[in-house]
Amino acid sequence: MLLFDAHLDLSMNAMEWNRDLRLPLVEIRRRELGMTDLPDRTRNVVCFPEMRRGRIGLCVATQIARYSTRFSKLPGWRSPEQAWAQTQGQLAWYRAMEDAGQLLQLRTWPEVEAHAKLWREASAEQILSLPIGYLLSLEGADSILSWHHLEKARADGLIALGPVHYGPGIYGHGTDDEGPLTPRGRDLLKEMERLGIILDVTHLCDESFWDALANYNGPLWASHHNCRALADWNRQLTDDQIKAIVERGGVIGMAFDAIMMVNGWAHHRSKPIDFNLKLEKICEHIDHICQLAGNAWHVGFGTDLDGGFGTEQMPMDLDSIADLQTLAAPLAQRGYSPADIEGIFSGNFLRFLREHLQ
């Protein structure tokens, strides 16, 4: 079944983790043996061969670069200009992968529709040489120096933007922080609406979330978010937030970070075995959203796999992004119809793009 992943940090893995995503998974892991700079070394699950094996033929791929002020404890760049330059280096990597035939940027609905059709009809042998289609998103807007820079990003194919990441940012407040959007953040939303850029509400703290919905009238989604009722952390969506996204016609992508799947995870201390965490756990989050929505039209996958963590913080039966295909069976056992499952795997995000991709 075709699978659409609404959030993958591909360029971050290539440019900061220094992974060649064209290589087989085992080879990337082998090259990281003995490396201790990051906790997820040798524990990655994403590469182009595994994406093809899992029929993940379309994804939203990110640019990400935070501005970290002098006294901030969060990692990041020391100036917004450096952050902008980092995103441009990430864009250059995407372009290089296009030149190599590994990726294909999708900017319009006809391009997305044609690429989805190509992947649906391709044989297992043909998929081995097909480019993976990607749509460009920016996670955290600290690197947007001016509206001219936003216009340039849009011209380069940016289709979605999340104003903030963790902590305080230039445009608002994110995960583990409090406060509304800044005045410049509200202006950002107006410019996004003018340019036809989708608002990604992921990582907005509660106050900034509601402020954003009140000041933005365009299309929105939550690319990688789970349910706070099942994983009690401000990083997750409350029931009221889920209902608000549904009312606006948005789609919520399920993330596979263990800390977002279970209650009580202690960062850097807990292990998946402590919770007997399996992939099927995500079905509880899917069920919760579908019950609130009254249908299965507003949920999909936004895995965030290899988003700064590896298998040390993933379900125990997830060793490759291709393992997502195994979720069709437990969803069917819970009573989801083939049409529902197809929607969760790709159709819901594709419908959203058909309606809103300008």
Model confidence over 262-319: pLDDT tens digits?
999 998 899 999 999 999 999 999 999 999 999 999 999 999 999 999 999 999 999 9
Closest among 356, 307, 346 to 6, alpha carbons compared = 346
Whole-number percent of the chain with pLDDT over 70: 100
pLDDT at 358 over 80: no
Task: Work out whether strand 132-139 and strand 158-162 pair parallel, antiparallel, or are unpaired.
Answer: parallel
pLDDT band at 104 (very low <50, low <70, confident <90, very high): very high
User: Domain of 321?
Assistant: 4-356
pTM score: 0.98
Would you say residue 71 has pLDDT above 90?
Answer: no
232 pLDDT exceeds 80?
A: yes
pLDDT band at 70 (very low <50, low <70, confident <90, very high): confident
Alpha helices by DSSP H, listed for the chain, are: 10-15, 25-31, 48-53, 80-99, 109-121, 124-127, 147-155, 183-195, 206-215, 239-247, 282-293, 328-333, 338-342, 348-356
CA–CA separation, 23 and 97 (whole Å): 13
Q: Is the dihedral of CA 87, 93, 98, 104 positive or negative?
A: negative
Total domain count, the chain: 1
Query: At 252, which CATH number?
Result: 3.20.20.140
Dihedral of CA atoms 6, 323, 40, 11 in degrees, nearest 10, equals -40
What is the predicted pLDDT for the residue at 10? 98
Rounded mean pLDDT, 222-241: 97
Number of other CB atoms surrounding residue 317 within 10 Å = 12
Give 249's DSSP letter: T
Using DSSP, state whether 103 is helix, strand or coil: strand
DSSP 74-98: S--BSSHHHHHHHHHHHHHHHHHHH
Residue for token pair 């305080």 = 168
